Amino acid sequence: MAETKKIKGLTRREIAAGTHPELELYECTLEAGCKFEPELYGLEEKMQMFFFVNATGYVATKNRAWNIEEQGIFIPNYKKESFWIEAGENNLTFVHIVGVMNAYDEKEFIDYHIVLPNMRGRSQCFQFTEYYTGKAGSTIESRRLVLDTAFGRWFVGMDDGEGEEAFVGEHVNEHLQQWNYVLPGSHFRYMVDGKEDEAKAGDVIYIPKGVRSSARPIGDGGIHYLWLKFASEGFPVGRDGYPGSEE
């Protein structure tokens, strides 16, 4: 059973225990009006990201603040700048992603010249269609919350759709492990390696690399989830010479 901890107004539940030693994934609830100052990590240690599930409160450094006005992601500047998260009038739910950074990840991050800290709402994110949904005629909308391989082996996005035409076509990721955190408003069934189950908000669906997976709405229900994909051995180089360009 996942461990649940409470720290000064923050309830934190580990939701991917035992799936991979390089990942820590937590579902967090910060009580209304409470403040949380996360631990800081160096570039050579770990990356961390915070996905906000509901709109309330703000995240801030000593130089800048961002209101949490929609679902979106905040990425701090490693150990270079401290920050805090404060809930507004309502409790704030967020997913805390912590992943080990190796030499490959560091090089990719440095090569991308990403400016941190960075706060990006879902409406600001690049929208695209996965080949296995577009070709199948699905209306699912996919968004990248983190640019390509800017954090090396780690990248994050979300899928959204409503109704019977919004489905995730059956597919296999040969180089990627994937974790889907199911968001509010979802009502769908998913299949992983031939086994089907029903998803509800707060569930985590783990998909090992090399296995088939898909998802279909139940009736007029929705498919809404945050996804984290991880190329544990690094991305193969595509025909254009860039890692992960054909993944």
Which pLDDT value is given to residue 133? Answer: 85
Residue 20 sits in which domain range?
4-121
- Do 189 and 199 contact (CB within 8 A), yes or no? yes
Each residue of 13-22: pLDDT tens digit? 999 999 999 9
Which pLDDT value is given to residue 5? Answer: 66
Residue that terminates a domain, selected from 121, 148, 166: 121
SS (H, E, C) 21-88: CCEEEEEEEECCCCEECCCCCCCCCEEEEEEECCCCCEEECCCCEEECCCCEEEECCHHHCCCEEECC
- Do 54 and 67 contact (CB within 8 A), yes or no? no
Same domain, 146 and 195: yes
Whether the CA torsion 167, 99, 3, 13 is positive or negative: it is negative
Q: What is the mean pLDDT of the chain?
A: 92
Each residue of 174-192: pLDDT tens digit? 989 999 999 999 999 999 9
With respect to residue 236, please indicate whether it lies within any of the assigned structural domains.
Answer: no
Rounded to the nearest angstrom, the gap between the alpha carbon of residue 135 and the centroid of all alpha carbons in its chain is: 24
| DSSP H/E element including 204 | strand 204-207
Same domain, 108 and 49: yes
Which pLDDT value is given to residue 55? Answer: 98
Integer-rounded Cα Rg, in Å, for the chain is 18
Same domain, 9 and 114: yes
Q: Is the pLDDT of residue 146 over 60?
A: yes
Same domain, 111 and 132: no
pTM here?
0.93
CATH number at residue 169: 2.60.120.10
Each residue of 185-219: pLDDT tens digit? 999 999 999 999 999 999 999 999 999 999 999 99
With respect to residue 239, please indicate whether it lies within any of the assigned structural domains.
Answer: no
